[in-house]
């Protein structure tokens, strides 16, 4: 198969990973390196997101040998950070910030880079958009376990997180049944309920609480009593970390700072305590946390990540800059970054997957 024509004349591509890690990051890096080298381009890996363009000597050349064996490995060989916005870079311990954007552009030129592949979530892709406006040719690759990036039906990492959460729910089923308990499992997802909805359905949950559908805990308790009346004696409740009661707010583990977004967490324990009081049944909560981001990517995520990485290189070579690769099944397409900046993809309340959950008798707490 002949290599794609290099119409843009790009010869040296920088690649970085930003934001929280997600299984499949290494698969994208590998795909970028292999596809680029196949077209006689050189790849420079930048360490810890845009830190690689702020601090000296935070880069290294990546050859096919450097990416051998990383397809199946979680994390990122380049490192990442979700505190490294070069336009508001944290300095000191007091929450102050500084603008390092000009330094990044300077370093980009010093390293003789012709283009960037920026792999990240909405925050990282917004930063990429700003650098593209300042004249840097680049392509974005959408990453997040949360699956909340607009204009793509899937981000890599999501399938792996859902698979892990599903296995956890399977394991909780047997102990819940044995002890006749309510088991509440809190999953990640920020302000979107994709992980909770998909793992809840796959795991056969009885209740799924998502941010897009505020819940009434009395109705959840009614559903559990109803199940007991039918002889079930145990219930599995999946709660998204961003779920909130009707008229209430999200549960925050750590407040936002100038350089860091608020950290969600704790709603599972709150719901478990309320359900114990309301139903009189013993209730326990489990927080899956960062386990959802670790481990080997599923085959779906490996394939998606590989297609994203290969397509990103194609776009650079054909001279399509300022775009993000996206999955519009069955195709990988490109979408202008300006279309995704500042937007979040939430679960539509009347989405067929929501309706399927209801049809299975799953309570969504409303
Ligand atoms: O965006 C991915 C994610 O794992 C969210 O689901 C979660 O709210 C957040 O990152 C946690 O971030 P951190 O690792 O910084 O605590």
Same domain, 44 and 97: yes
CB contact at 8 A, 117 and 14:
yes
Burial class (CB in 10 A: 0-12, 13-18, 19+), 342: exposed
Q: Count other C-beta atoms under 10 Å from residue 353's C-beta.
A: 12
With respect to residue 288, please indicate whether it lies within any of the assigned structural domains: yes
Domain count of the fold of the chain: 2
Ligand 1, atom 9, residue with closest C-alpha = 190
State yes or no: pLDDT of 148 exceeds 80: yes
Same domain, 117 and 50: yes
Same domain, 264 and 316: no
Phi-psi label, residue 354: left if phi above 0, alpha if psi -120 to 50, beta otherwise: alpha
Q: Which atom of ligand 1 is nearest to the CA of 290?
A: 4
Same domain, 69 and 126: yes
Same domain, 136 and 256: no
Q: How confident is the model at residue 303 (pLDDT cuts 50, 70, 90)?
A: very high
With respect to residue 7, please indicate whether it lies within any of the assigned structural domains: no
Report, as residue numbers or ranges, the catalytic residues.
146
With respect to residue 1, please indicate whether it lies within any of the assigned structural domains: no
Same domain, 50 and 130: yes
Cα separation, 98 vs 333, in Å, equals 35
Q: How far is the CA of 345 from the centre of ligand 1 (A)?
A: 16
With respect to residue 335, please indicate whether it lies within any of the assigned structural domains: no
What CATH number did the domain enclosing 107 receive?
3.40.50.450
The percentage of the chain sitting over the pLDDT mark of 70, rounded to a whole number, equals: 100
Same domain, 36 and 67: yes
The position carrying tokens 């909340």 is: 148
State yes or no: pLDDT of 1 exceeds 70: no
Q: How confident is the model at residue 91 (pLDDT cuts 50, 70, 90)?
A: confident
Q: Which atom of ligand 1 is nearest to the CA of 188?
A: 6
Phi, psi (degrees; rounded to nearest 5) at 330: -95, 10
Q: Which atom of ligand 1 is nearest to the CA of 82?
A: 15
Distance between terminal CA atoms of the chain?
A: 54
pLDDT at 261: 87
Nearest to 346 by CA among 253, 213, 163: 213
Phi, psi (degrees; rounded to nearest 5) at 44: -115, 120
Same domain, 221 and 146: no
Q: How far is the CA of 101 from the centre of ligand 1 (A)?
A: 25
Please report, to the nearest 10 degrees, the dihedral formed by the alpha carbons of residues 216, 221, 223, 227 taken in order: 170
Structure tokens at 299: 């085959």
Q: How far is the CA of 13 from the centre of ligand 1 (A)?
A: 28
What is the average pLDDT across 288-316? Answer: 98
Q: How far is the CA of 190 from the centre of ligand 1 (A)?
A: 7
Cα separation, 46 vs 341, in Å, equals 23
pLDDT at 207: 98
With respect to residue 182, please indicate whether it lies within any of the assigned structural domains: yes
Burial class (CB in 10 A: 0-12, 13-18, 19+), 305: buried
CA angle 256, 258, 264 (to 5 degrees): 15
What CATH number did the domain enclosing 221 receive?
3.40.50.460
Dump pLDDT digits (tens) for 218-249.
Answer: 999 999 999 999 999 999 999 999 999 999 99
Ligand 1, atom 16, residue with closest C-alpha = 263
Same domain, 113 and 262: no
What is the average pLDDT across 183-194? Answer: 98
Nearest to 267 by CA among 201, 193, 187: 187
Q: How far is the CA of 263 from the centre of ligand 1 (A)?
A: 7
Q: Which domain holds residue 179?
A: 161-293+348-359
List of residues 6+ apart from 236 with CB closer than 8 A: 169, 172, 173, 176, 183, 185, 203, 204, 205, 206, 207
What is the average pLDDT across 298-313? Answer: 98
Same domain, 23 and 145: yes
Give, for ligand 1, the residue of 146, 160, 195 to mutate: max count of ligand atoms closer than 8 Å to Cβ: 146
The position carrying tokens 């399509």 is: 320
Cα separation, 313 vs 307, in Å, equals 10
Q: How far is the CA of 188 from the centre of ligand 1 (A)?
A: 7
Same domain, 50 and 183: no
SS3 98: strand
State yes or no: pLDDT of 96 exceeds 90: no
Ligand 1, atom 10, residue with closest C-alpha = 20
Dump pLDDT digits (tens) for 54-74.
Answer: 999 999 999 999 999 999 999
With respect to residue 3, please indicate whether it lies within any of the assigned structural domains: no
Ligand 1, atom 8, residue with closest C-alpha = 190
Ligand 1, atom 12, residue with closest C-alpha = 20
**Residue 186 parent element (H or E):** strand 182-187
Give, for ligand 1, the residue of 83, 190, 346 to mutate: max count of ligand atoms closer than 8 Å to Cβ: 190
* Ligand 1 lining (C-beta closer than 6 Å): 20, 82, 121, 144-146, 188-190, 241, 263-264, 293
With respect to residue 339, please indicate whether it lies within any of the assigned structural domains: no
Report the predicted TM-score, pTM, of the whole model to 2 decimal places. Answer: 0.96
Same domain, 315 and 262: no
With respect to residue 106, please indicate whether it lies within any of the assigned structural domains: yes
Q: Which atom of ligand 1 is nearest to the CA of 292?
A: 4
């Amino acid at each position: 198969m002949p290599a794609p024509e290099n119409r843009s004349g790009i010869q040296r591509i920088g690649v970085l990973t930003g934001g929280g890690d997600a299984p499949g990051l290494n698969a994208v890096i590998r795909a970028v390196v292999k596809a680029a080298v196949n077209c006689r381009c050189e790849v420079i890996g930048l360490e810890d997101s845009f830190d690689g363009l702020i601090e000296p000597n935070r880069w290294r050349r990546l050859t096919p040998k450097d990416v051998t064996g990383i397809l199946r490995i979680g994390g990122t060989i380049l490192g990442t950070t979700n505190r490294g916005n070069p336009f508001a870079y944290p300095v000191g311990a007091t929450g102050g910030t500084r603008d390092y954007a000009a330094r990044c552009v300077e370093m980009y030129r010093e390293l003789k880079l012709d283009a960037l592949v920026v792999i990240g979530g909405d925050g990282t892709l917004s930063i990429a958009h700003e650098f593209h406006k300042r004249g840097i040719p680049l392509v974005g690759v959408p990453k997040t376990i949360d699956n909340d990036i607009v204009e793509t039906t899937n981000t890599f990492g999501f399938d792996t997180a859902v698979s892990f959460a599903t296995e956890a729910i399977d394991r909780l089923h047997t102990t819940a049944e044995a002890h006749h308990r309510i088991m509440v499992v809190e999953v990640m997802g920020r302000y979107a309920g994709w992980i909770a909805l998909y793992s809840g359905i796959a795991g056969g949950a009885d209740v799924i609480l998502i941010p897009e559908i505020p819940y009434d805990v009395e109705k959840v308790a009614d559903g559990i009593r109803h199940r007991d009346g039918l002889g079930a004696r145990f219930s599995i409740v999946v709660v998204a970390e961003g779920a909130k009661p009707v008229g209430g707010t999200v549960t925050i583990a750590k407040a936002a700072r100038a350089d860091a977004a608020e950290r969600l967490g704790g709603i599972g324990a709150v719901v478990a305590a309320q359900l114990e009081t309301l139903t009189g049944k013993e209730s326990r909560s489990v927080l899956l946390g960062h386990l959802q981001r670790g481990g080997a990517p599923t085959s779906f995520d490996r394939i998606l990540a590989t297609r994203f990485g290969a397509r990103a290189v194609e776009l650079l070579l054909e001279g399509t800059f300022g775009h993000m690769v996206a999955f519009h099944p069955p195709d990988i397409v490109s979408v202008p970054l300006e279309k995704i900046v500042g937007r979040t993809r939430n679960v539509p309340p009347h989405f067929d997957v929501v309706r399927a959950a209801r049809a299975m008798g799953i309570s969504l707490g409303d």
